[in-house]
Homo-oligomer: A and B are copies of this chain.
């Protein structure tokens, strides 16, 4: 289950918007980091949900601009999806798991070099994320988007801890 739909519905809660603006809000919330919200997906999602009655077209635009608004059904659908987001623990998808899966396919020496480089990059990513905390309110983002950053930083820190520990074990020949 992808998150495109709930994200689109969520941007429309406070009033009608057109596709480009939907995308801009999501960008501001950092959603482009962890969701499929390329323009194509947005426009497709909007058109599809309008077809299904979750949205209505408010202003079919002169010049082509199309503005969408939530219907009552759309609001219900948002609430439904929001509740399942909170109640159902869904797997974390981390592309680094792929690297791990095939760690035995890299020569140990290369592996150690890659791991050390990754540890360095992770430290940079973590401090960058932490510095970003608090910086988005200026552009109209609600305060709690910082929590997304905090959680992300915590998960990157967990990855860093794994890498740091594993470097030693690879050097000792315990891994892979």
Residues on A close to B: CB < 8 A?
Answer: 1, 3, 6-7, 10, 13, 29, 31, 33-35, 78-79, 82-83, 85-87, 89-106, 111, 114-115, 117-118, 121-122, 125, 142-145, 147-148, 150-152, 154-159, 161-162, 166, 175-176
For the complex, give the distance between the alpha carbons of A117 and B162 in Å.
Answer: 27
B101 A31 Cβ-Cβ under 8 A: yes
For the complex, give the distance between the alpha carbons of A152 and B100 in Å.
Answer: 11
A29 B101 Cβ-Cβ under 8 A: yes
A100 B144 Cβ-Cβ under 8 A: yes
Q: Chain B residues near A98: list those with CB within 8 A.
A: 3, 6-7, 35, 85
B92 A155 Cβ-Cβ under 8 A: yes
> How many copies of the chain does the oligomer comprise?
2
Shortest CB–CB separation between residue A12 and chain B, in angstroms?
12
Interface of A is mostly: helix
Q: Chain B residues near A145: list those with CB within 8 A.
A: 101
Among B6, B96, B117, B151, the residue within 8 A (CB) of A96 is B151
Among B89, B91, B102, B148, the residue within 8 A (CB) of A101 is B148
B166 A93 Cβ-Cβ under 8 A: no
Among B93, B100, B142, B150, the residue within 8 A (CB) of A35 is B93
